[in-house]
Structures are given as structure tokens and as C-alpha cells.
Structure 1
Amino acid sequence: MSSPQDPQVIADATEPSAARHPGTAPGSGPVSAAIPFGFLAQLWPYLKRYRHLMLGAAAALLLTSGLTLALGQGVRLVIDQGILAESLGALNRTLGFVMVLVVAMAVGTFVRFYLVTWLGERVSADLRADVFAHLVHMHPSYFEENASGDIMSRLTTDTTLLQSIIGSSLSFALRNALTVTGGLIMLLITNLKLSLVVLLGVPAVLIPVLYMGKQVRQLSRRSQDTVADVGSYAGEIIRQIKTVQSYAREPFEKAAFQVEVDAALDVARQRIRQRSILMAVVILLAFTAIAAMVWVGGYDVMTGTMTGGELAAFVFYAVMVAFGVAGVSEVYGEVQRAAGATERLMELLAEPSIIVSPAEAGPLDQEAEHHLTLNNVSFSYPSRPETNALSEVSLAVKRGETVALVGPSGAGKSTLFELLLRFYDPQQGSVTLLGQDVRELPLPELRQHIGLVPQQPVLFSNDVWHNIRYGRPDASDAEVLAAAKAANAMAFIEALPQGFASDLGEAGVRLSGGQKQRLVIARAILKDPDLLLLDEATSALDAESEYQVQQALEKLMKQRTTLIIAHRLATVQGADRIVVMDQGRIVAEGTHTQLLTQSPLYRRLAELQFGQTLSVNENEVIANN
């Protein structure tokens, strides 16, 4: 067994993530340069919904900033009128004034923090809901071409980051910006000469902030992308853990995952180093300017041109400005991360779906002779545009007819189902339902007419009620029970610990394959569709489970138009018509007996499955069975 030290393991594991996961995320190209806080313009449609919160937070912010500036004057009065004047009464009065300011500032801080934090939560929740709503309407090929881990990272991590920025860091940055502005004004009012000393240091502080901020933003975007790669890789391995363990590939996967983690750490280290340098430079320059100011001010106090209280107030404002600038520079990196997260989310929201409902719906002809028609349909998948999955396919299915689709793997059978459900649109030809092109029907209306029973049953992490009722959410309990009974599912459901209220686990992991399939059939029965699509519904089941599922399917198929995909010919011999497909084309149609004599491909498939060369009499026996 390979170990993490094996050369091949290391070579494979150190292969870049993009090579092992070719579905790269949209918008993973170069980061565009943008002005600081420019991301707020993109978020404005969400922010403006809560103007009352923003106005309240702004008022509290202005109040607390003004009170903070007033504290400087309180310090001056305490020193000049109380301590230096040696007046206990004046000291008590000035300290009382300072305490009133402190209490008012505490109340204002509570209001500001509460409002901006709630604003961040609301905007994050709205954005997350909009992104998810957009995702569930995206065409299926989008999820084939983009890693699910990256999409989930945008939906969860990026929106959480924005909540933190809007609800905390942004408020902190605005407060510091106000105190810096107000502090500079108070410095000028208090002492013009010392203010000039401080102002000389401001450009020296702002230049590195602006210059290094762009690099911080680029690294922040890269960091978010690499973290998404880590989540995507881990999610895939966890979903396929049985395969990993059965092939004893744990050492390889541990080594490969460590490569992903190290790549994310490397980018994070660069981002942290850049931010640390930025903060260090800002603090060094800011406090160097303060030290120079204190020296000049101390000299003026010694020469009698300035009082000790004025110097103390000036130092208070200068320190306030210094800490404000340092705070802004620290938050600047967080703001750049927010800009990167906003870009990623807006790219997702701006991604158009290539499958959309028409502006005006066309009418269905309920008296149409053919329930379903394909007219000269040709189609190739977006990921394989050079290869036709279907080529010039024409097929007409009458109401109530059962048509079986057979042929080797890759013949185009499942692709035909995907076009019927309009997961894709053909590049040539048309698909019509009851005389209307499916592209002229609203997607919900089209899909409401169709029931799909897939080869791999799909269940959700919820109870039995939810999974069956997913076909028709407004169904009553009695209707759900009737559907379960019709699907031969009542016996095993009642045997579950909590019956219909039993949680089935992720993807129905607590059920067998046959039990899962019968729940999916119950869902389709409850939906009561006009057109039924069965995609290898019994192929992966044992004999007993197949019998139970087949009985349920026969009840489901009664008085419905049905298309069946099957590799086992014994399951489709009772179909009204069998359509043989090969390499994306229809090569033959007819009954089982007709095809044995007319289609070499069908005869070959039958001989392979029944294990002998069939004679005419044997053909008749098989057909009658």
C-alpha cells in the first residue's frame, strides 16, 4: 500500500488543484482594482432596504464621535481648572462632566453596535437567500462546469464575511474616520503650530495604506478561492469515503488534502504578512509624529507659551488621530476582503441561466394525438460541443403509450430525458408536449406534467413525510399514505423506528436501495404526472427488491404515457413499442419479436442477455413471457 512518502503519491498529491478539479469557479480571474469601500455601491440595493437602521446607526455614530472629541476638552478642564488650580470643587465638577460624557458615550455605543450588527445580519441573510434563489434556477450544466465546494463557499463563507464586515468592521472604520477628522479639527483649534507637526505625518501614513491596500485585496481574493478549493476537495472525499477506504487510498488523500491546506495557508500567510507590514508602518509613522509633537509641546509648556491642560488635550487628540488612522489601516484589510467577497457573490448573481421560462406561455392542446414529439433533434453537451449526444432524432409518442428506449451505454437515452425535462435545449430541432414547443412553456408548468423515477433514487435529509410529499407539497396525510401503499412501501416504513416521522439521514442512507426506490415511486405516484420517465428504475436491485419495485411501477404506469430506459430487455418486452438507439440515433423501432428479426443490434443485445443464439421459437417464448 502506498504511503504519503511514496514518490507517486507525492507527485499525484502535489498536482495543482485546478488540474485535479477542472471545473473552475466563475470569476476566478484577475481582481479588478476598485476604490476603497466601492463594494458598498454593489450592496446598496440590499442596504437601502434598511434605511431606518442606517439612519439610527449614523446618528449614534455621530453622537459617540462628538462625545469622544468632547472628552479632550474635559481632560483640559480637569488639569487646568482642577489639578493645576488646586481646586477640589472644580476638580469634582469637571470630573462629573467627564463622567456624564462617558455614560452618554456608552449608551450611544450600545445603540450603534446593536443597529449596525443587526444591519449586517439582515443584509447577509437577504444576500444569502438571493444567491440560493438564483442557484436553484440555474441550468444543470452550470453545476457540471463549476465546483460545488466553491459555490457553497460563496453561499456561506462569503456572506458570513460580509455580515462581519458590515456589522462590525465597517462601523469601526467609519467611527475611526470621524474621530480622525474631528481630531484633526480640534488639533487645529487647540494649537496651530503643533497641528502642522502632526499633519506632516498624515501623507506619510496614507501613502502606504493606499499603495499596499490593492495588494491586500488581491491576496484576500486568492485566499478565499483557495479556501473554497479546500472545502471542495474535502467534500468530494467525504461523499466518496467508501470508495476511498475500499481502495485503501487514505494515505494518498491525506497527502493530497495537505497540499490543498498548505496552498491556502501559503496565500493566507502572504495576506497576513502584507497586512502586518501595513499596520506596523502606519503605527511607526503615526507615533513618530506624536513624539515630535510632544517634544515641541513640552518645550512650549516649559517656556510658558502653552498650558499643561492644552498640551494634555492636544496629546489626547493626537493619540486619538493616531489610533484612528491605525484602526482604519487595520480595518482596510478587512474591507478589501469584503470587496473580494462581494465580487464573488455578485459574479454568481450576475451569472445568467441559459434555460429560462418564456415571457408569454403557449397553450397546450389537450386533444393532441401525440403526447410527446421530437422533431429532427440534434444536441451536444456544452462541455463536449464537438460530439453529438443526439443526431437528427425524430420520435412521436401517443397518449397512454408505453415506449421503451434500449441501446448500449452512450446511445443518448438519458440525454433524451434531459431534453424532455428541459435541463438543456437542443441546438437543432424541437421537442413538443401536447402540440407545444417546450421552450414556449413555463418551466414549472412543463415539469409539473412530468414524473421522473431515476436510476439512482434521490432522497433528502428529512423524514418520510417530507420525501414523499416533495412531489406535491400540499398533499394530505391520507394521500401520502395512499401513495406509499401503492408503491409497496408501507411495510418497511411502518417498521422504521418512528414510522413516517423517521429521519432517513443524508441521501436516505438509512434505507436499502429497493426501499429508496419505492419512496421515489411513491413521490411520483403522489405527483400524478401525465408523462412518466423511468430511467433504469430497477437496474441496481436484487430480485426481491426488483419484484416489489416492478409491482409499484406497474401501478404507476397505468393510464399514463410512459418512456422507459432499460438495459435488461426482459423488463421492457411488454412495452407497446421498443425504440433502439445507437450513437445518438434511432436505428430501429418495433415490438420485441419484430426487432429480433429486423434489428441486428437488438438481436445481439438479446443474445448477450439471454446467453444463447435465439431461434424463432425461442423468440416467441421470450416475447410471450
Structure 2
Amino acid sequence: MLVGLIRRQLRGQRAHVWAIVLLQLVQAAANLLLPTVNAAIIDDGIVAGDTAAISRLGTVMAVIAVVQASSAIGAGYLGAVVAMRIGRRLRAEVFARIQSLSSQDVALFGTQSLTTRATNDAQQIQAFTVLVFTMLFAGPAMGIGGIVLAVQQDVALSVVVIVIVPLLLLIMYLIVRRLIPLYREGQDLLDRSGGILREQIIGVDVIRAFVRQDHEARRFARANAALTANNLQSALLVAGMLPMIMLVVNLSSVAVVWFGGHRIQAGLMNLGALTAFIAYIMQILLAIMMAMYVLMTAPRAAACAERIQAVLDTEPSVRDTSSRVAGTGSRGARPAVPGPDAGKPAANPGLLQFHGVGFCYPGAEAPVLADISFTASPGTSLAIVGSTGSGKSTLLNLIPRFLDPTEGRITVGGRDVRDVPLAQLRGSMGIVPQHSHLFTGTIAANLRMGAPGATDEELWAALETAQTMRFMRDLPLGLATPVGQGGASLSGGQRQRLCIARALLRKAPLYLLDDSFSALDYDTDTRLRQALDQQLAAATTIVVAERLSAVEDADLILVLDDGRIVAQGTHPELLLASATYREIAESQLALDGPL
């Protein structure tokens, strides 16, 4: 899997790869030539007393050394370039895949796991690729060449090589086989500890409020201890590999000197040949050490590659009709094949219709929504109310295809939403999500997410409609005021109103407001709803709300209970005809006063 993943990333860098292979082979050849030239200097120069031969062969050695160093530097540089590009492309591919996944798909992996896969896992593969393009081709060439040349120097003495090479390979195999499951487990433990840390940072106020610091500290300590124990096991195996290899090689070197000395004394071998033989043993050691470094990082990189491949192989449950590859969406959904009208503008883009829509999460025992049918026309407002968990937000998320229905169909402007490209579908809507989220930047940058080309005057107009002018006047930098990650520098009500202003800038025919007034006081709520009634008079507005005062003026109110529409009508009609609605109204009446 790891090799296949890297191979796909290398298709556009063939020239660099071939250059790296050539440079590494040159490097290996230079390394192997040096002992031969050195042996010749000893036998032909020093032993024979030939000064000219020493100078000539010394010059050859200097040239070979320069070639060896230059090729090693060139291969290292190009290898780093290729590895960095692979890392960049991997991160880009994982990011693009995550962006294409629905919220349901993201939940299967978890936010922390996806973050780790896009960053740490990609970094591990990048580091492994650097080693591959630094050592992979030079190592085997030096190892094989060293064995061949060692045998050529003295066949009898080469028995030592025949013994130590399989022994070294066996040691590496046993250690690497144990490392693979440890590294795979380590990445999962890293996800777990990172997820706990992320929860504790985000929920630090809740932890402090309930005085659970000690409990959370123990919870993180357990995850941290498990990760530490895993890392210690793998580190011990890695640390033990080099001493074991050095022990075997040093013992073999002692054996070579011992038996080689006897063979020289017997006249069966030259001093230069023994020197070259020892050098080739060191070359074989160097090749094995190169392989060792590659093999030590390969298990971790392989585990990371499996995790990245799992993300890349995940088909989005919500398929875009503009995609070249057609397939099926969620369970029971129609194939996401573009219809004959795909890409064409709708004749009445504000007309929303649900036709027997149902939705069930994979593996759930019961559907979240069942048999939902209604029509919302331009110039009207439709409200959705119900108890917590009745499926209100899920219903709203089906319209922009954050989720796909498992039964029935939804049409906007008379066209099935699955026949409309996602960019076109969502571009025709102004959406205010249940959780008001702002991004790091300025207020202006956050507002322009709704309309990138909006002028400052348009931004101020949207802010005025969203009833933000009171706190905006207190900001010395105005639209240039920086916003912290997630809007942490603002209150909940301020974030909600900025999100409403962002949606208003779309000037869309259809607006989806998911419990967008919950953090507002009654005075601001009233003024905001009056301003929205004027601003969105020609649009279709779908409002999800817990507070009935926010929906009592809606043209149609749907009452959900256990995922089904149990009543629909206007506020006065439902007070008379729906026991569920009346129960909600009475519970709020006791708290809020007359409706």
C-alpha cells in the first residue's frame, strides 16, 4: 500500500526520480572503487616502493572521492525536493477529500483523527520518502557490489560474508516485524491522546465549572501513558537494532583479520587484498545500516499510509453531480448522475418541496425523519418547531445536501437537489448554521465569505439589518476588527448576528436559519425579525427555532415529533388544533409571558 501510494505521487516527477537513481548508482560505484584503488596503492606502491604509482592512484582516489561526494549531495537534494512535493500533494489530496465528505462521513473518522492524518501522517510518509531517495538505490548496489568484490578478493575468506549477511537480515526482519503493529497502534494512540487534549482545550470552561480538572488530568495521563509505553517499546527495538548489527559486524571483522592474517602469512593472500576485503565488509555494513534506517521508518510510514489511504478511498456519501465519477450516495439515495437539466438555472429557485422524505443514519434502528412532505413558496416563511431530537436540524441539513435523504426526494425550483451541482445548489441559499462559526481574520473577511465581491457599504447594510450596529460602533477598527478562531473574541449573540449578516449578503432566493436567534435577548430578537421580514420579503425563508416567539408570524409552521410532521398551520391554528404545539406554547408561556 505504501509503495503504491508513493508511486501514484511520483508520476509527475519521473525526471527527478531517474536522476536520483543515476546519482545513487554513481555514488555506490564510487564507494566500491575506493577500496580497490586503495588495495592497489598498498600492493603496487607501498609494498613495491613505486612512488609514481602512489601519486597516480592517489589522484584517482581523490577524483573518485569528489564524484562520490557530489553524487551523494545531488541525490540528497533531489530526494528532498521530491519528498517535499509528495508531502505537499498528499496533504492537498487529503484536504480535498475531507472537504468533499459530508458531516456524516467526517463523524466516522473524527475531527482529531482527520487532522492527524492530514498533518502528522503525511509528514511521516514525507520523512520516509527522504530516506528512500537518499539510500534505497545506493544501499542495495553497495551491498551486492561489496559481496561480489569481497568474494573476488578471496573466495575462502568470503565464507564470513556468507554467514553474516543472512544473520543481519534475520535480525532486521525479526525487529521490523514487531515494529509494524507497534507503529500502527501508536498512531491510533496518538489520535486518542490528541482527541482528549482537543476536548479538554475546547471544554476548559466546563471542566473548571464542574471542578473536574483532576479527573480530566487522570484521563489524559492514562492516554499519555499508553502512548509513552508504545513509543518506548518501539524505541527499544530500534535502539537495540544498531548494537546487535554492530556486534555481528565487529565479530566478523575480527574473524576476517584473524583468518586473513594467517592467509597472508601462508602467502595465499596479499595485504592490499585483506585491506580491500575489510573495506568491503564495511561497505556491506553501510548498506545494511542504510536498509536498517529505511526499514525502521517503513513500518510507521506504512501505518500512516494505511490511514491516509482509508481517507482517500472513502467515497463521499453526498455525491456532486458535477463530479466526473457517478455513484450512489447515502443508503437508499438515487445515483448522483447528472440529469438532463443539471447545471441549468431553475425557473423558480425559491420554490422548495419535500416529497415523502425520510432519513436514517447508517446502522440506526429507527429513522430520524419519515414521510416528510411540504411546500414552501417564494415570499413566504416556513417555520419548523418540535422537541429536542425531533429531527429539525436534520431536516434543514437535507436541503443544501449536507446529508442526502434515504427515502423520497427534495426539489428546489422544481429540480431534484441531487440533479443540481453542489456549488450551484448551495450558492443559491443563505445559510445560518445552528452553531455560529467564524474564522480567524477580520469581520470584513468573515462577512465576505457570503459575497466575496461585496463593498464596504453592502457589508454595513447587512450588519445594520442583523442588528449589529450597537456593538460595531464600539469597535475602533470597525470592519477591520480581528476575529479569533471560532469567533472566541465575541459573545454568542454577536456571533449569531454576524453569521446572519454573512448569509444576508448572498441575496439568495432561499434562506435557511437553524435556531439563529437563541442567543439574542427579546428586544434584539424582535427588531431583528422585523428587519428580516422586510429584507427577505421576496425570498423563501425556512426557520428552525425552539422559541415560539421567533416563529409565530410564519406563514406556515411544521410541528415535528419523533421525526414526523404531526401538525402544520399558522400559530393561531396550531394553538387550537395541535396538542403538541399547545404543550410547547404552554411550557414557554410559563417562562416568557403571553405569546
TM-superposed CA distance for 1:130, in Å, is: 0.4
Question: Match of 2:586?
Answer: 607
Alpha carbons 2:465, 2:528 under 8 Å: kept: no
Question: Match of 2:162?
Answer: 199
Q: Which amino acid aligns with 1:154?
A: R
Alpha carbons 2:465, 2:532 under 8 Å: kept: no
**Distance in 2 between the 1:548 and 1:333 partners?**
65
Question: Match of 1:16?
Answer: none
TM-superposed CA distance for 1:50, in Å, is: 0.7
**Distance in 2 between the 1:234 and 1:313 partners?**
57
Q: Which amino acid aligns with 1:455?
A: Q
Question: Match of 2:328?
Answer: none
Q: Secondary structure at the match of 1:515?
A: helix
Question: Match of 2:521?
Answer: 542
Alpha carbons 2:380, 2:537 under 8 Å: kept: no
Alpha carbons 1:419, 1:425 under 8 Å: kept: yes
**Distance in 2 between the 1:367 and 1:297 partners?**
93
**Distance in 2 between the 1:342 and 1:192 partners?**
44
Alpha carbons 1:455, 1:539 under 8 Å: kept: no
C-alpha spacing 1:545/1:310, structure 2 compared with 1 (3 Å) = farther
- The equivalences for 1:141-540 within 5 A come to 141-357=104-320, 358-363=336-341, 366-367=346-347, 371-382=351-362, 385-489=364-468, 492-493=471-472, 495-540=474-519
Q: Secondary structure at the match of 1:399?
A: coil
- The equivalences for 1:124-143 within 5 A come to 124-143=87-106
**Distance in 1 between the 2:149 and 2:24 partners?**
18
Q: Secondary structure at the match of 1:194?
A: coil
TM-score normalised to structure 2 length: 0.91
| 1:242-265 C-alpha deviation (Å, 9 max, x unpaired) | 111111111111111111111111
**Distance in 2 between the 1:543 and 1:196 partners?**
91
Moved more, 592-601 or 236-245: 592-601
C-alpha spacing 1:125/1:555, structure 2 compared with 1 (3 Å) = farther
Q: Which amino acid aligns with 1:121?
A: M
Q: Which amino acid aligns with 1:403?
A: L
Alpha carbons 2:350, 2:539 under 8 Å: kept: no
Can you give the 5+ residue segments of structure 2 that lack an aligned partner in the other structure? 321-335
Q: Secondary structure at the match of 1:391?
A: strand
C-alpha spacing 1:70/1:369, structure 2 compared with 1 (3 Å) = closer
Moved more, 579-588 or 550-559: 550-559
Q: Which amino acid aligns with 1:531?
A: L
Question: Match of 1:107?
Answer: 70
Aligned pair partner of 2:83 in 120, 123, 134? 120
Q: Which amino acid aligns with 1:381?
A: Y
C-alpha spacing 1:283/1:471, structure 2 compared with 1 (3 Å) = same
C-alpha spacing 1:539/1:106, structure 2 compared with 1 (3 Å) = same
Alpha carbons 2:136, 2:291 under 8 Å: kept: yes
**Distance in 2 between the 1:205 and 1:559 partners?**
79
**Distance in 2 between the 1:519 and 1:485 partners?**
10
Moved more, 570-579 or 124-133: 570-579
**Distance in 2 between the 1:522 and 1:369 partners?**
21
C-alpha spacing 1:544/1:368, structure 2 compared with 1 (3 Å) = closer
Q: Secondary structure at the match of 2:157?
A: helix
TM-superposed CA distance for 1:377, in Å, is: 1.9
| 1:233-281 C-alpha deviation (Å, 9 max, x unpaired) | 1111111111111111111111111111111112222222333444444
C-alpha spacing 1:487/1:182, structure 2 compared with 1 (3 Å) = same
**Distance in 2 between the 1:369 and 1:218 partners?**
54
Alpha carbons 2:355, 2:374 under 8 Å: kept: yes
C-alpha spacing 1:179/1:432, structure 2 compared with 1 (3 Å) = same
Alpha carbons 1:217, 1:333 under 8 Å: kept: no
| 1:119-168 C-alpha deviation (Å, 9 max, x unpaired) | 10000110110011001111211222322221111111111011111113
TM-superposed CA distance for 1:507, in Å, is: 0.3
| 1:280-316 C-alpha deviation (Å, 9 max, x unpaired) | 4433333333322222211122222222122111111
**Distance in 1 between the 2:304 and 2:583 partners?**
57
| 1:8-62 C-alpha deviation (Å, 9 max, x unpaired) | xxxxxxxxxxxxxxxxxxxxxxxxxxxxxx6222321111211111111111111
Moved more, 222-231 or 270-279: 270-279
- The equivalences for 1:526-605 within 5 A come to 526-543=505-522, 545-547=524-526, 549-550=528-529, 552-605=531-584
Q: Secondary structure at the match of 1:426?
A: coil
| 1:485-525 C-alpha deviation (Å, 9 max, x unpaired) | 44344564464353323320110111122221222122111
**Distance in 1 between the 2:3 and 2:509 partners?**
49
Alpha carbons 1:486, 1:522 under 8 Å: kept: yes
Question: Match of 2:325?
Answer: none
C-alpha spacing 1:219/1:365, structure 2 compared with 1 (3 Å) = closer
| 1:591-623 C-alpha deviation (Å, 9 max, x unpaired) | 222222222222222222223999xxx8xxx5x
- Tell me the C-alpha RMSD between the 2 structures: 2.4
Alpha carbons 2:382, 2:554 under 8 Å: kept: yes
| 1:177-205 C-alpha deviation (Å, 9 max, x unpaired) | 22111111221222222223312322222
**Distance in 2 between the 1:552 and 1:613 partners?**
22
TM-superposed CA distance for 1:555, in Å, is: 4.6
TM-score normalised to structure 1 length: 0.87
Can you give the 5+ residue segments of structure 1 that lack an aligned partner in the other structure? 1-37
**Distance in 2 between the 1:517 and 1:555 partners?**
19
C-alpha spacing 1:589/1:543, structure 2 compared with 1 (3 Å) = closer
**Distance in 2 between the 1:613 and 1:44 partners?**
65
**Distance in 2 between the 1:295 and 1:549 partners?**
94
C-alpha spacing 1:298/1:349, structure 2 compared with 1 (3 Å) = same
TM-superposed CA distance for 1:411, in Å, is: 2.1
Moved more, 357-366 or 233-242: 357-366
| 1:381-432 C-alpha deviation (Å, 9 max, x unpaired) | 235x212222222111122211111222222211210111222222222211
TM-superposed CA distance for 1:567, in Å, is: 2.0
Moved more, 571-580 or 270-279: 270-279
**Distance in 1 between the 2:495 and 2:208 partners?**
24
**Distance in 2 between the 1:46 and 1:310 partners?**
45
1:79 aligned onto 2:42: yes
Q: Which amino acid aligns with 2:589?
A: F
Q: Which amino acid aligns with 1:107?
A: S
Q: Secondary structure at the match of 1:119?
A: helix
Q: Secondary structure at the match of 1:193?
A: coil
**Distance in 2 between the 1:59 and 1:474 partners?**
52
C-alpha spacing 1:273/1:288, structure 2 compared with 1 (3 Å) = same
Moved more, 448-457 or 281-290: 281-290
**Distance in 2 between the 1:52 and 1:441 partners?**
42
Alpha carbons 2:143, 2:284 under 8 Å: kept: yes
C-alpha spacing 1:368/1:450, structure 2 compared with 1 (3 Å) = closer
**Distance in 1 between the 2:534 and 2:499 partners?**
14
